[in-house]
Each structure stands twice: as C-alpha cells, then as structure tokens.
Structure 1
Amino acid sequence: MSYDVIVRSGRWFDGTGAPSATRHLGIRDGKVAVVSAQPLDEGGCPRVIDASGKWVLPGLIDIHTHYDVEILESPSLSESVRHGVTSVFLGSCSLSTVHASPSDAGDLFARVEAIPRRHVVGALEEAKTWMSARDYVDALEALPLGPNVAAFLGHSDMRAAQMGLNRATRKDVRPSDFELANMEAMLTEALDAGFVGMSTQQLLFDKLDGVTCRSRTLPSTYAKSRERRRLNTILRRRGRALQAGPDLTSPFSLASLILGSTGLGRTKLKTSLLSAADIKSNPYTIRILGPIAAIVKRLRGDLRWQHLPVPFEVYADGIDLVVFEEFGSVAAALHLSDEIERNALLRDEEYRRWFRKDYDKRFGVKVWHRDFFDADIVACPDGSVIGKTFGQVGVERGGVHPVDAFLDLVVEYGTKLRWRTTISGHRPEILDMLARTPGVQLGFSDAGAHLRNMAFYNFGLRFLRRVRDSERAGRPSVTLEQAVHRLTGELADWYDIDAGHLREGDRADLVVIDPAHLDDTLDAYAESAMPAYDNLSRMVNRNDDAVTAVLVGGEYVFGAGVAADVLGVTRTGRFLHAGERTAR
C-alpha cells in the first residue's frame, strides 16, 4: 500500500496530551492514513522524511495574529509556517477586513498595529471583491494559502461599516435600531460562514490613524452595554467565542467581561481575554488570573486568558511605540504625523514637564514600566550611546532627567534611534506557573503586526524548549505531551476547529522538530525585507535548524529554513470552519 508521504521513526505526539511514542506515519490524500509502531513499506512513496531522534507533532496553532492585510498580498505567511505554525487566526482586537472600506481599514489598522497605512489601503483596494463574510471566506479560499486560516469578525470593523467611522467613534452617538440590527445580521452571517466568533476591544490606548478621526480610540470602545449584550447573545446562542481586550483603567470593564462569561441562568459565553501577562509595572496581578478563571468555571462559565509564553521584548524606532499611547503626553506627540511639528513639540519645555510628570507616576494600572534605565539603545548614529540605557545617558550628560535624555536623542536622530525593553514575561517561574494554569491559552503572538517592534513568530518553539529544559533540570512544570497539547489540540478543541491533532484520520498538518537545535538561537532576531511593503525591514526570527519539516494538508511546505516551491503558489491551507471538529 503506497503513501504520498511517510514520516518514519519520530517521537510522535498526537495533540491530546496522551503519552508520546516512536511511530511511523503514513500520509495519503492529505490525511494521516496510519500511525504504526512498525516500519511502513516505503515502496512507491515519493517523499520519506526520516524523523529519527526528532519530534513529530501536530502543526502549531496561533490564535492571535493580525495577518488580515498581509494574507492578501503574501498568502504563504511563510514567517509563521517556517516555525511550524500551520493554522492562524485572523480578526483579532476588534479589527478585521470583512466590511470596512479600504480607507477606513487603513485608519483602523495602521497606527494601533503599526502597519503602514498606504499598504493597508492599497492591498484592500486591489484585492477586495467581497461584500459579505461568506464572500470573504470564498476570497481567502481562492488564495494560495500557506497555513490554514480561522477568523473572528471584528466589532470595530462592523461598527465602522455600518455607522461610518466618524459616527462610530463619537461618544454622543449610539447606533440606531436599524444599524444595530444590521450588525447583528453581519455577525450571524459570519458565524454561518464558519467564523469562530467576534473580537472586541475596550482598551483605550489603541488609536486610529488618518485625518478625520485621528487619535480617537477604536470604534468598539464606544459601544455601550446594550449593543454588547445583543451581539453577545448571538455568540451565546451559537456557542462561539468572544475575544476581548478590557479597559485596564476601568474595573467595571474587566468585571463586566468576566461576569459576562458566566452561565448562571443563561447560556455561558466562551470568552478569551487579553491578556495574561506578567507585567513589570504590576507584578502581583498575574497571580489572580488563574483563580478568576476557576471561579468563572464554578459559575458555569468559560473564561480563558490569552498568554504569550515568552518574554515580551519590544523594539522601537524613536518615539513610535504603541504602548506609549497609554499616557497623554506621548499620545499627544504621536497624534502629530508631521515630523517637524512633532519635533517642535518634543523640544518644548512645557511639554517635557508634562512627559516627566507622566513618567514619574508610579501608581495606577499601566503596561509600560516607565523606567528609561530599563531601555537599551541598540542603534544610533551616535555610536557612543549604543549599549547604554537612556537613564545612563542622562547621568553621563550631567544628571539630565531620563525623559530629557530620551527626547534629546529622539529629536536629534528620529527613527534612526532604535532601542528595546522587556515589558512583561521576565520571570521564568511565572511563565512556568502560567504554562500549567488551565484558564490560560497559549498564543498572542501578534504576528503580522508591529513589524518593527516585536518578533514572536516562533513562540511555540521557545515554549517547547523551556519545557524540555525544565524536564532535564528535574523541575518540570508540565510534561512535553501536555505542552504540545496546549499549543495544538487544546486550542482546536476550545474553538471547535478541525486542527491540532495528529491521529489516524486527521488532516496531515504537522511539524518535525529537532530538539537538539532548540537552543539559544531561538531568541535571536533578524531583519527581513517585505517586498509587498516596499521592502520594509521586518523583525523576524531565524533559527532554521530547529524545524526540519512542515506539512500542511499532507503537502511539504517548509524545512531547514527553505520554503518548498509550492508554498504561496499552490493552496495548501484552507479556511477552518468553526463546528467542523464537532461535526467530524
């Protein structure tokens, strides 16, 4: 009996958390035909992958990306595929490209996700043929998709399309009954088309680009309880998920989202909240997130916290960094798109007093730790400051306040000044705690966004390395089987998509990993030009020895740092319809 592909002698993980074992996999017609303890007949098989000493596991699932624009121009999504990700989710943070006009989508995506606006608008003007969610699915399926794709429908996308971006971002405007009914119809139609749910956002430092509505928060932040309840009712009735980002400054926002997940006297609402992060500025909050999810479960609810299981290290060019939007002084500077006008503001002493006052606030909820002694300069025309913190530069310049040292360099060098800091995920023991917390989902890579700010495309590999190293050190937080389950089958089961498992009859989405190369190279960053974005240099990961083979739908698409000829040319991925797993 011949096979299209044989993967032999690998340590096989099925994605359920069951014990791993050395097995031989025979793949035929895009599915796993057999998992055998005995070697398979390789006669007539055109591709045999020797996985001796390697791990064979289901393709990884990335539940939080912003590939909504990139997928239209580069549907291979090779930067994720090269690291073993075979399924990605679009439509996070209330942002999708289903209904909004190209111009409005540019305003929605550009500033908050740090994707150049002209490329958002241009990609949609060229590609958009769809008028509905079902048409959108058909349009995706017509692309030569590299990985599989699942999708949320964005609340801000619906609001902007139905109300107009200006009305959708005004505090004194509520959607009419007609407009709200149309949003309900949009959501229902998307769920009928197989979307996994709806994403919304209440976080107030995500700001719009453009001119007319510049610096207003995302449309979904203006929605009131009545609107959210009516949309959530549809999700409850259909058993689909709500992805939400609470307003960190409002206890009511977080409480309402948590309580909204409960099922007392009503159908539960599957809720995935952003995010479980060990933030430097709030070191104690992280320990209560797991217990909160457990309490919600006892109240017949279903709450999960999204978590990036690696240190959240960010880079910035000059002053352009999304987390700076959380306080007024820098948001005021980022509001100014003209460089000359912005620099004039940054030089102004009254403005600097405002910035210093914001910087010196040590109380309240915040994401950035506001410590320029914890911000390393990595590139600058003035080589004497490279490798130093802004705080050190201030000390060396005669005791200049760290804010002034930072602003002086920004004014002088603009985006040629590049620096980095770690915002969260800095304590390994907390990362280990979250790895074994049932109410936490592993994801939140933000792949496809913040192209110059962060690179977490290989977060799954880095997580597996940490689990493997913990086992070797005799202090395991979870087993390798459990770790694989958390990155694959657990996510697929919760979102009800047909992915994340590697058993007989399952779709052959898999990755072969060489554990000998799960080493420090996983942490290295590199730069890669994006042809579709005028060769914009994107931060990426490059650790090509760790992943020796990636298959999507039984087709070999990547291995050892080299893409197969079919990737981005022939469609290997597909749209993952929510409900398929249950139906199968």
Structure 2
Amino acid sequence: MLDTLIKGGTVIDGTGTEPFVADVGIRDGRITAVGQIDEPAQRTIDAKGLHVLPGFVDIHTHYDGQASWDETFAPSIYHGVTTVVMGNCGVGFAPVRPGDRDVLIDLMEGVEEIPGTALTEGMKWNWESFTDYGRALDAQPHSLDFMTLVPHDTLRLYVMGERAARGEPATADDIVQMQDLLRQALLDGACGLAVGSTETHRTAQGRMTPSFEVSPVELNSLAAVLKDLPYRVLQGISDFASPRGAPAEEKARFDCEYAKLEDMAKVAGRPISITWMDRVIAPQQSQWLGDASLASAAKGVDVKLQASPRGIGVFNGLDTTLNLLAAFPSYQAIAHLPAKDRAAQLRDPATRARILSEAPVSLSVEGSSVPPLADFVIQHFEQIAFTLFPLLPSADGSMDYEPLPELSFGAQAKARGVSARELMYDHLAQGDGNNLVYFPIHNYLNGSLDRVREMLMHPHVLCSLGDAGAHVGTICDASISTTMLAHWGLQRTRGEKIALPQVVQMLTQRNALHMGLSDRGVIAAGMKADINLVDFDRLALPMPEIVRDLPMGGRRMIQKSMGYVATLVSGQVVIENGHITDARPGRWTHGAKA
C-alpha cells in the first residue's frame, strides 16, 4: 500500500517540459510512480484542479541562528520551500570558540539585521566545530531540509581571533588551519564555502567584517580545498565598490573584484554563485556582471548569478526598523507609544501640522545601515518619493510587487499639487498604524521589472536572493518563490511573463542541481517526495505583517501566502492550507558523497 496517492493533478515536473495530468504515488518518503495509479493508499489526495510541483529549493537564506530555536523555518515554509541553504555571505555561527559567541552575534546583527537580543536568548550554542553545529541542528526537529555553507568570517575568527576582527592579513599558518577546518566540515556534510567581502557589510559596532579585503592568496587557498573533494560550491557577493571616479575607474575596480571570485571558481574547479542585482548606485555593474559570467563560461569557469524576481528594497512603517517619521522631534516625543496609539496621535491636526513643519534631525547610528539610509531618504525625499509606494492590497487582498509609477507618492503629490511627505505622513497615520511604504531600491529602475526579466532569462541565473531569516525588521523576501511563480509564471500584465514550466524549473531542478542534489527538484519515480500542491486560481501574496515572535519578543515581518494547498517534505505534509502541521521530517542535507 502507498503512503499517499495524489490523484488527478496537473503535474509540472520541474524539468521544463509541458504540464500533464497524472497521479503521483508516494511510499517511504519517495515517489514510487507518476502516471495512472490504481494502487491503494493510506491517504488519497484529490488534486483535480490543482497543480503538482516539486518542492522549491532556496539557495540563499540566513536561518543560521533561527534554525536553533525555530522548528519550521517560517516564513519560507509558507512559500513552497522544502530545502533551504544557510551560511551565505560569509556569516554564520560555526566554528566558534566559547569566548567569541558575542562577536558572531554582533556580526550577524550588523550584516543581516537579526536582533542581537533574539540571537542571545534563542541560540543554544551546543557546538564548537562546524560539524558539531550541523549535528546539533540535525538532532532538533525541523519541518524543512537544510544545507549549510561554511562561512569565511567564522573560519577567520576561529583561527585568528581578534586579529581577524581587526582585519589583519592571515599568515601562512593561519591559512593552513583554515584549510584544515574547512576540509573537515566539507567532508562531514557542509555543502560549500561562502565568502562575503563587501564594503556595505559592517558589524553592529560599525567595524568591517573579518573577511573584508582579504588577500587573493587566502581566498584561493580556501577554494583549493574543494578541488579534490566531492561536489561542493562557492558563494560570493557582488556588492563591488561603489562609484567614486570616472566610469573607466569604476570598470577597473569591477574587473579586479570579479577576477578574485572567478579565480576561486577556477582554482576549485567548482561553480561559484554571486549575488546579482541592478544597483541604483552602480547601474552599469549589473550588465558588466552578466557579461562577465558569459565570458567566464567561455573559459570553462562556472560562475552562476543569484537574482531576485522582484525589486530589492525595504518597507517603511511606524513599527519597522526603517521609520521615516522618526527623524522629526515631535514624533520622537510619542515614539514610546504602541503603534495604534501613535497612529491616532498622528491624526491629531495639531500634531500633524507640527511634525510637517519641523526640520528632520539625523538618525545616523554607527554600525547600522538603516539609519543612514533613512537620513539619505529624508534629505532627498521629494526626489526619492517617485520610488516610494503606499503598500495597499488589490481587490483580492494580495499585493503587487510591480506597482505602477503613477502610484508613487512623488507622482501622486505632483498630480495633486501637494508635498509627497504630506501624503506619506497621512498614509502611515491611517488605521492601527500598520500601513507600510514600499521602497524598491534596486531592480526597479524606470518603474518596471523589465530589467529583472532580462536577468532571469540569463543562461547562468539562479532564482534566489530572498535573504530569508535576515533583515527581519525591513523586508520579508522569503516570499520571492511565490512572486516568481505567481507574478512571472501566471499574472504579469505590464510586460512579458516567463513560461510556466521554466519558472518551476528555476525554483526546483536548477537550484537543486547547482547544490549537487540529484534526489529532488523533479516529480519522477525514485525522487524524494518533496511536493507542492497549488491552486493557481488562488495563488497570491497577502500583505506583510509585523509580529513579535522572536526570542525576547523580538520583532520581525512575516508574509504568508494564499493558494498553497499542501507542501510535502519526504512525503509528509508539513503545511496544509496555511496551517503548519506537527510533521518534522526535515534533516541536515549533506553535500554529494561522490
């Protein structure tokens, strides 16, 4: 008898082929057959009218801390994800010496905006080596499978201590020790190495990260560890130096930084995936990176590009980390009130007139990237307001991540002959103080996602970059898989969509194969039964909400979904109609053994 029989659904199998109607049989966590199946089953799911897809593989998350207290990997579990990859951008929590735990918390809080209080309270720290970290997490129940990249920053801190924190170069002996630690972690199941050299990442105390501006010798020495091991991957960041001079100088800097990452892939003989976005402060770099990846392939070097299917930006609200009213003295006088009471106070005509008449004060705080961003936006608000949008649900209750330019505060203010700041103030003051402003900083140039579509069609692209588990007070991009499926595969009206079978393949098989996972990402006999049942007629993203469910009551944003009828991991239903079940089949998923 089968454990589960999914009957009569439309299968999009993850290989890029056209949909077909079939039954799917499951036994012992594996798919036994796809086709006409009459075998009895303990549970039969009527999938007529539903689409049957492989579980999604999210290759860029930051659940490194959350995984030690959260069994469910929320919010990814709401968006069809069945396997997550953590440790990206070179930051994480292993290996670690007991005396350096606070250093890693400071690093993660600064780089990925995860509250330090939540990390301090929630993490168990029952590990020192990277292998012990993976095994400690694996001993805990989890809904989803998870893979672990070894972070470069933690290797440096473990071997070099304060010398790494000060950014000192590694000695030859340091490098040998890092190589030994990396090799053992990779042999024991880690899926690769993540590096994170970028000027935009700082610790919560404002220091550069331990791996900022390390030598090519160190990078290549670590990459060389992968060469003779079973398949493993490299991951890096493309936040190359911001423009400071002539275009030729900018291109020279880009070429230099890209060459370091390309050399790592060449030395390792393994693929490297690099974050890829259309950066508003360096608009030429996205084209340069796409072209460079093609040139690398022509030389036999595998450079993949991690791209998001939507704008990369932040939310602003009364209760988010980025609060554009917090720079005004009269707002600061009521900032201690609950959001509902603050909103009511903001609607008071005298308060409104006073705040709108005030000059803003600086919000800059050393070590935090959000207040300086707020300062910049406030100082240039009337210009930036053309890329600030009131976040409002559509008629079906879902939100649109490709808003029309005429809906921006700037465009509305110009049409009505009022200030954009006034419109934003009134939007935030409405209701219970839960209204949000959407600010797509990158990927949304010229008021559309047309450039994003070009990036998603690149032959070396990997649909990713949601940062699930990170930047919890300003974004909720764990939902990008639903954006990819709903917006690009089904609903886009302002331009070309992407063929649905290709969309599904990008979320499943393509990412799985990049990570060396040949047992998932496809609906076929013998494959792992990681499956999504989706009602395309209801598929949508509701509005994000702010919750306080982190340890110590820490705040984060959660965006759920509509239309996912069920998600199965190893044949067990982990979420059904939006409700997380008690099933915990998730395991630490190792890199390939051969």
Interval containing the TM-score (normalised by the shorter chain): 0.7 to 0.9
Equivalent runs, 1:200-349 vs 2, <5 Å: 200-209=195-204, 214-238=205-229, 239-249=231-241, 254-256=254-256, 258-259=258-259, 260-261=261-262, 268-275=269-276, 277-316=277-316, 347=361
Aligned mates of 1:263, 1:131 — CA distance in 2: 27
The amino acid that maps onto 2:183 is T
Q: Report whether the alignment pairs 1:374 with 2:366.
A: no
Equivalent runs, 1:18-57 vs 2, <5 Å: 18-36=17-35, 38-42=36-40, 45-57=41-53
Q: Report whether the alignment pairs 1:161 with 2:181.
A: no
Q: Report whether the alignment pairs 1:492 with 2:492.
A: no
**CA 1:178–1:390 in structure 2 vs 1: closer, same or farther (change >3 Å)?**
farther
Q: How many residues align?
A: 520
Equivalent runs, 1:451-470 vs 2, <5 Å: 451-469=472-490
Secondary structure of 2:183's partner?
Answer: helix
Equivalent runs, 1:348-387 vs 2, <5 Å: 371-375=384-388
Aligned mates of 1:288, 1:455 — CA distance in 2: 28
Q: Report whether the alignment pairs 1:573 with 2:586.
A: yes
Q: Is the 8 A contact 1:168 1:222 kept in 2?
A: no
Q: Give the match for residue 111 of structure 2.
A: 112
Q: CA RMSD in A?
A: 4.0
- Per the TM alignment, residue 372 of structure 1 is displaced from its structure 2 partner at its CA by 4.6
- Per the TM alignment, residue 357 of structure 1 is displaced from its structure 2 partner at its CA by 11
**CA 1:375–1:432 in structure 2 vs 1: closer, same or farther (change >3 Å)?**
closer
Q: Is the 8 A contact 2:390 2:424 kept in 1?
A: no
Q: Is the 8 A contact 1:26 1:33 kept in 2?
A: yes
Secondary structure of 2:18's partner?
Answer: coil
Aligned mates of 2:2, 2:57 — CA distance in 1: 26
Q: Is the 8 A contact 1:262 1:268 kept in 2?
A: no
Aligned mates of 2:363, 2:62 — CA distance in 1: 38
Secondary structure of 1:106's partner?
Answer: helix
* Contiguous gaps of at least 5 residues in structure 2: 243-250, 328-335, 337-358, 366-371, 393-406
The amino acid that maps onto 2:269 is K
1:563 pairs with one of 580, 583, 586: 580
- Per the TM alignment, residue 578 of structure 1 is displaced from its structure 2 partner at its CA by 1.2
- Per the TM alignment, residue 14 of structure 1 is displaced from its structure 2 partner at its CA by 2.4
The amino acid that maps onto 1:93 is C
Aligned mates of 1:356, 1:31 — CA distance in 2: 49
What is the CA deviation profile of residues 181-224 of structure 1, one whole-angstrom value per residue up to 9, with x for unaligned ones? 21111111111112121111111121112xxxx20111111422
Q: Is the 8 A contact 1:279 1:425 kept in 2?
A: yes
Q: Give the match for residue 339 of structure 2.
A: none
Secondary structure of 1:420's partner?
Answer: strand
- Per the TM alignment, residue 300 of structure 1 is displaced from its structure 2 partner at its CA by 0.6
Equivalent runs, 1:392-407 vs 2, <5 Å: none
Aligned mates of 2:443, 2:118 — CA distance in 1: 32
1:62 pairs with one of 44, 58, 62: 58
Worse-matched range after superposition: 11-20 or 502-511: 11-20
Aligned mates of 1:429, 1:150 — CA distance in 2: 32
Aligned mates of 2:373, 2:435 — CA distance in 1: 19
**CA 1:312–1:267 in structure 2 vs 1: closer, same or farther (change >3 Å)?**
closer
Q: Is the 8 A contact 1:94 1:199 kept in 2?
A: yes
Q: Give the match for residue 135 of structure 1.
A: 132
**CA 1:130–1:252 in structure 2 vs 1: closer, same or farther (change >3 Å)?**
farther
Q: Give the match for residue 356 of structure 2.
A: none
What is the CA deviation profile of residues 547-575 of structure 1, one whole-angstrom value per residue up to 9, with x for unaligned ones? 00100011111121111132xxxx31112
**CA 1:215–1:438 in structure 2 vs 1: closer, same or farther (change >3 Å)?**
same
Worse-matched range after superposition: 264-273 or 129-138: 264-273
Q: Is the 8 A contact 2:232 2:592 kept in 1?
A: no
What is the CA deviation profile of residues 522-561 of structure 1, one whole-angstrom value per residue up to 9, with x for unaligned ones? 2x323253434233342222333x1001000111111211
- Per the TM alignment, residue 175 of structure 1 is displaced from its structure 2 partner at its CA by 2.3
Q: Report whether the alignment pairs 1:480 with 2:471.
A: no
- Per the TM alignment, residue 485 of structure 1 is displaced from its structure 2 partner at its CA by 1.1
Q: Report whether the alignment pairs 1:440 with 2:461.
A: yes
Q: Give the match for residue 342 of structure 1.
A: none
Q: Report whether the alignment pairs 1:535 with 2:545.
A: no
**CA 1:315–1:473 in structure 2 vs 1: closer, same or farther (change >3 Å)?**
closer
**CA 1:281–1:258 in structure 2 vs 1: closer, same or farther (change >3 Å)?**
closer
**CA 1:316–1:156 in structure 2 vs 1: closer, same or farther (change >3 Å)?**
farther
Identity of aligned residues (%): 24
Q: Report whether the alignment pairs 1:430 with 2:443.
A: no
Secondary structure of 2:119's partner?
Answer: helix
What is the CA deviation profile of residues 206-253 of structure 1, one whole-angstrom value per residue up to 9, with x for unaligned ones? 1112xxxx2011111142222112112113443422211144216566
**CA 1:346–1:486 in structure 2 vs 1: closer, same or farther (change >3 Å)?**
same
Q: Is the 8 A contact 2:58 2:83 kept in 1?
A: yes
Q: Report whether the alignment pairs 1:420 with 2:415.
A: no
Q: Is the 8 A contact 1:65 1:447 kept in 2?
A: yes
Secondary structure of 2:279's partner?
Answer: coil
- Per the TM alignment, residue 167 of structure 1 is displaced from its structure 2 partner at its CA by 2.0
The amino acid that maps onto 1:4 is D
Aligned mates of 2:70, 2:576 — CA distance in 1: 19
Aligned mates of 1:244, 1:304 — CA distance in 2: 10
Aligned mates of 1:442, 1:120 — CA distance in 2: 28
Q: Is the 8 A contact 2:194 2:235 kept in 1?
A: yes
What is the CA deviation profile of residues 58-77 of structure 1, one whole-angstrom value per residue up to 9, with x for unaligned ones? 10011111111111111211
What is the CA deviation profile of residues 10-31 of structure 1, one whole-angstrom value per residue up to 9, with x for unaligned ones? 1112222233311101100010
Q: Is the 8 A contact 1:169 1:222 kept in 2?
A: no
Q: Is the 8 A contact 1:376 1:421 kept in 2?
A: yes
Aligned mates of 2:362, 2:275 — CA distance in 1: 36
Q: Is the 8 A contact 1:555 1:572 kept in 2?
A: yes
Q: Give the match for residue 103 of structure 1.
A: 102
The amino acid that maps onto 1:92 is N
The amino acid that maps onto 1:141 is D
Q: Give the match for residue 171 of structure 2.
A: 176
Aligned mates of 2:375, 2:478 — CA distance in 1: 36
Worse-matched range after superposition: 478-487 or 441-450: 478-487
2:565 pairs with one of 548, 568, 579: 548
Secondary structure of 2:45's partner?
Answer: strand
Aligned mates of 1:489, 1:224 — CA distance in 2: 35
- Per the TM alignment, residue 422 of structure 1 is displaced from its structure 2 partner at its CA by 1.1
What is the CA deviation profile of residues 52-98 of structure 1, one whole-angstrom value per residue up to 9, with x for unaligned ones? 12111110011111111111111211321121100001101111111
- Per the TM alignment, residue 254 of structure 1 is displaced from its structure 2 partner at its CA by 4.1
Q: Is the 8 A contact 1:530 1:536 kept in 2?
A: yes
Q: Is the 8 A contact 1:61 1:487 kept in 2?
A: yes
Secondary structure of 2:573's partner?
Answer: strand
Secondary structure of 2:136's partner?
Answer: helix
Aligned mates of 1:417, 1:170 — CA distance in 2: 42
- Per the TM alignment, residue 321 of structure 1 is displaced from its structure 2 partner at its CA by 6.4
Aligned mates of 1:501, 1:534 — CA distance in 2: 40
**CA 1:154–1:456 in structure 2 vs 1: closer, same or farther (change >3 Å)?**
same
Aligned mates of 2:253, 2:192 — CA distance in 1: 20
